[in-house]
Amino acid sequence: RRLVAGVVAGLVVASAAAGAAGFAIGRTQQTPVRSPQALGGGTFPSPFGNGGPSFSFPFGTTTPSTSAAVPKAVTRSEAGLVDINTTLNYQQSAAAGTGIVLSSNGLILTNNHVIDGATTIHVTDLGNHQTYPATVVGYDATSDVAVLRLQGASGLTTATLASSPATVGQSVYAVGNADG
């Protein structure tokens, strides 16, 4: 029982650290834009087809810049990320998601829903572009977190985690598996 409680506590702390890392990356890359033309605001048609509601994107005083800061933030964080691809027990369907590298020997933090029901898990490290089979070390379905271990991995670049106070209106950038 103590081991399970320790793993769950570790997963919750690691999940909070992952959120802080994403926030820190966004905070360091924020560039205010004050021109309404640069914001691209306006009313957009419904994504649900004819007759659906339209959506308004209000003009604001701060928005993330589309300058080189975004690619720089993505490049800096990508080396500590992984793409996760799974085969599910249900009719051999597939699922995908993203994780962060916690240790150079292949401990990965991801969401439980990414690996829930998986019969096989393959993880591609975005730092070295190698694909590894993975096993589940532990998970907490209620908190939607899971830890994986990559088989045969070593020397991986770990995610850089940071913390700073949040302020309303700050921009963050999400980097993830496009298939997940």
Measured CA to CA, the distance from residue 80 to residue 76 in angstroms comes to 8
Which of 16, 45, 64 lies at the terminal end of a domain, its last residue? Answer: 64
Q: What is the model's pLDDT at position 69?
A: 62
Tally of structural domains, the chain = 2
Residue 151 reports pLDDT greater than 80? yes
Which range (6-15, 19-28, 37-46) has the least confidence? 37-46
The residues, any chain, with a CB within 8 Å of residue 32's CB and separated by 6 or more, are 61, 62, 63, 65
Contacts with 13 (C-beta within 8 Å, 6 or more apart), sequence order: none
Percent of the chain with pLDDT over 90: 37
* Domain membership of residue 96 as a residue range: 1-31+67-180
Interatomic CA distance for residues 21 and 24, integer angstroms: 5
Identify the pLDDT of residue 160: 80
Cα separation of 74 and 126, whole Å? Answer: 11
Structural contact between residues 42 and 56, judged by C-beta atoms closer than 8 angstroms: yes
Q: What is the pLDDT of residue 179?
A: 66
The DSSP letter of residue 156 is P
Residues 54 and 112 reside in one and the same domain:
no
Instruction: Give the mean pLDDT of the chain.
Output: 73
Q: 106: domain CATH number? A: 2.40.10.10
* DSSP characters over 79-104: TTEEEEEEEESGGG-EEEEEEEE-ST
Same domain membership, residue 115 and residue 27? yes
Q: Do 112 and 72 fall into the same domain?
A: yes
Rounded CA separation 7/23 (Å): 24
The DSSP secondary-structure symbol of 138 reads E
Are 76 and 151 in the same domain?
A: yes
> Within this chain, do residues 26 and 50 fall inside the same structural domain, yes or no?
no
Q: Between 30 and 157, where is the model more confident?
A: 157
Q: Are residues 1 and 21 in the same domain?
A: yes
Q: What is the pTM of this model?
A: 0.60
In a shared domain, residues 52 and 3: no
Cβ 100 vs Cβ 108: under 8 Å: yes
Q: What is the pLDDT of residue 100?
A: 93
Average pLDDT over residues 131-147: 95
Same domain, residue pair 176 and 134: yes
In sequence order, what are the residues at sequence separation of 6 or more whose Cβ sits closer than 8 angstroms to the Cβ of residue 168? none
Question: Do 11 and 86 lie in a common domain?
Answer: yes
The residue among 148, 62, 160, 161 whose CA lies nearest residue 108 is 148
Reported as a single tens digit per residue, the pLDDT across 63-107 is 445 556 666 666 667 789 999 999 988 777 888 999 999 999 999
Kindly state the percentage of the chain with pLDDT values over 70. 53
Considering the domain architecture, whether residues 38 and 73 belong to the same structural domain is answered as no
Whether 59 and 144 share a structural domain: no
Q: Are 19 and 172 in contact (CB under 8 A)?
A: no
